[in-house]
Chain A
Amino acid sequence: DAKTTQPNSMESNEEEPVHLPCNHSTISGTDYIHWYRQLPSQGPEYVIHGLTSNVNNRMASLAIAEDRKSSTLILHRATLRDAAVYYCILARNNAGNMLTFGGGTRLMVKP
């Protein structure tokens, strides 16, 4: 699987938007971009995924660069509950999709 690069940590103020970047310059045409997050002492949680177009759901938005070599997870209004490690993962959407997690970005939210 192609590799992703994320900042180790980021800080945000509560109720402000957060942009979490991810670089994936070696992405292949069949790789989907997945985002998961892991709250303290919990299992990972699916956030969003996309292929080429920007995506929105109730949790976040995903902005994908035109060349697909980078993407940004956008939390529109950070809350204290959003403090977690956010993982950007590339994987093909085939059966037996085994996700390879990297180091992720630890997001800290200040009140």
Chain B
Amino acid sequence: DTAVSQTPKYLVTQMGNDKSIKCEQNLGHDTMYWYKQDSKKFLKIMFSYNNKELIINETVPNRFSPKSPDKAHLNLHINSLELGDSAVYFCASCYRDRGYEQYFGPGTRLTVT
């Protein structure tokens, strides 16, 4: 059973397009995250979302927005894609009081041409 899944695994798109990446977790966790790993392999937190509380890393452009239809899903929507958005995006989840033990998805490689 896949604990944290992401779709699609690969996404190739052109500059200026709008795209979404989906994330689902079946662990019953109440907190979810999005991370970005750039070409230099640095992992950066983008968002933390718990029920109605959204915490945004101040460096994330407002073209990026998380959307959570329910506790098991946290999708990432990106408007007006730019070349610099090319990266691998990871979704993660955990229990609110066990934030040290986050479970990561397999990643979505986004390529903007």
The answer to whether A43 touches B100 (Cβ under 8 A) is no
Question: Which A residue sits closest to B106, measured CB to CB?
Answer: A43
> Which of the segments B12-20, B62-70, B74-82, B89-97 contacts the partner chain?
B89-97
| A29-51 near B? 1/0 per residue, CB < 8 Å | 00010100010011111100100
The answer to whether A32 touches B100 (Cβ under 8 A) is yes
A38, A97, A101, A102 pick with most chain B CB within 10 angstroms: A97
Q: Give the residues in chain B near A99, CB-CB below 8 Å.
A: 45, 102
Question: Which B residue sits closest to A43, measured CB to CB?
Answer: B104
Question: Which B residue sits closest to A106, measured CB to CB?
Answer: B41
Known: A43-B92, A85-B41. A96 touches B104 (CB 8 A): no
B16 to chain A, nearest CB (A): 29
Q: Considering the chains assembled together, what is the distance between the CA atoms of A38 and B37 in angstroms?
A: 12
Q: How many residues of B contact A (CB 8 A)?
A: 28
Cβ of A91 within 8 Å of any chain B Cβ, yes or no, is yes
Q: Give the residues in chain A near B97, CB-CB below 8 Å.
A: 93, 95
B14 to chain A, nearest CB (A): 25
The answer to whether B107 touches A43 (Cβ under 8 A) is yes
A50 to chain B, nearest CB (A): 9
Q: Give the residues in chain B near A94, CB-CB below 8 Å.
A: 99
State the A residues within 8 Å of B (CB).
Answer: 32, 34, 38, 41-46, 49, 85, 87, 91, 93-103
Top 3 A-B residue pairs of the complex, sorted by shortest distance between their CB atoms: A97-B99, A43-B104, A101-B43
Q: Could you give 27 example pairs across A and B, Cβ below 8 Å?
A: A41-B107, A42-B104, A42-B106, A43-B105, A43-B106, A46-B101, A46-B102, A91-B99, A93-B97, A93-B100, A95-B31, A95-B97, A95-B99, A96-B50, A96-B53, A96-B96, A97-B100, A97-B102, A98-B33, A98-B45, A100-B45, A101-B35, A101-B42, A101-B43, A102-B42, A103-B41, A103-B42
State the B residues within 8 Å of A (CB).
Answer: 4, 31, 33, 35, 41-45, 48, 50, 53, 55, 57, 90, 92, 94, 96-97, 99-107
